[in-house]
Chain A
Amino acid sequence: MATAWMATVVEADPSARAALQTLSPDFAGLYEAHSRPIYYLCLRLLADPALAEDATHDVFLKVWQRRDQFRGDSTWRTWIYRIAINHCHNLQSAWSQRHIQPTEQDALLDLAGGDDTSPLRVLELRELGERIQTTLDRLPPEYRLLLLLVADEELSYDEIAELTQQTPDAVRGKLHRARKAFAAAFAATA
């Protein structure tokens, strides 16, 4: 996917938001508050801006359809993330049945055992999205998801643990290894 790394940077479109506002101010507020992190998660999990756009639409349509099921046991953010993660996993499962996935993960995990304090550089910002996508694509799916979730400062370790169905301590341990693996893989993209 040659263009998969391209983060879509566009101007805000007030008319698009107004369309939602007229339907339901509450729903428009949810979309306004959470669509960016959800789109980013979809973009980096699916590695394709067009698929991420479709996925974000589908996720928020599910939010609309299931809004009466929200019980307040979690935050809206966590609830919507759960829908998005399941949606992306379902899409990825469908793909993996049709495609053979290249695996470089073992080599990266070996690298991840080394020093993680070496500075990593890119020459231009334009490269950054591409290198981040390449790096994430080379990580085990669990590491990829954990790194993307912890990058959202609104999520606590407890919420990440709940979303990934493990203990907060397990999340901390895996995140430590995930950061090392990311650093190693990022260096390899230079």
Chain B
Amino acid sequence: MNDRSKEPVSKEEGAGEGTNTDGPEQRIKNGMNRRAFLGTVAAIGGTAMVGSGTLARASSDFPGYPNSYGLLTDFTLCVGCRSCEAACNRENGLPEPQKPFDDVSVFEQTRRPDAHAYTVVNRYENPKDKNLPIYRKVQCNHCKEPACASACPIHAYNKTPEGAVMYNEDLCFGCRYCMIACPFYVPAYDYESALQPKIVKCTMCYETRVKHGKVTACAEACPAGAITFGKRDDLIKIARKRIEKDPDKYIDHIYGEHEAGGTNWIYLSGVPFEQLGFPANVPDKPPIELTKGFLSSVPLVFTIWPALFGMCYAAVRHQDDVCNEKIASHKKEEGK
């Protein structure tokens, strides 16, 4: 318990950095201009099949939006009160859950975000102290280069310069390839709906809050200061400082700093992340890097194949002609 009450700075740190938005409009505008420009280039070029799903651009690397927002969840602070779940539910107008948010029996099962919940908290046994379970909040990690966006054939996903990965229901035809691609098993689908099924996932409160530089509903609701909202770059620094200050309490790993190319939602923990159900085998490369090689071969096949197979066709025709000529000349000689 001592850990939790001891860190009053965490929220202030986050809030302080969060509101310190020196000229975000300008930066966002620049980002948009660059996007629009590159999008046009890609459309005209036609060969620019490669690029982040959010940025139709050439196959260069994308370092992520500078100054984007993020969140830091510190599992050593989380008390499992599910206030974040309740706040998220309210903020997004989601249906009332079957069990109320103060019902701790939900912890008997490991849950995942689904069509009715953008975020859930799960309970794990603490190997250091059996009486002090660890709680883990799960929601979209808002990757810097999201696999879901790389997977979507219709561009229904968009990484906003502010950091949120947004999904647009109006563009989705329901192939669910984003769910296959997401390394964190985040997007959920409402299979129950016949006419308007859609992907459901955390929006980082983009429309209502983050767009205006305001803290997300879950972070605001957290009574334990376990969720810090701020600029991602600053959150990384805060996380590093916490590990440095208390190396016995934390393992030396900020989950999301590098995983899947880096995520805007990052995590600190006192036990290895695998023990909290985090996938341990997520490469540091952004997933899109894995398909870049294949997609860059597409224009090559389009240019080389017609010539190559055209030549095969010509060679066979040529052989036929030579053969026919020989037969003809033989016949001529016989005729003489």
Chain A complexes with chain B: no
A residues near B (Cβ < 8 Å) are: none
B residues near A (Cβ < 8 Å) are: none
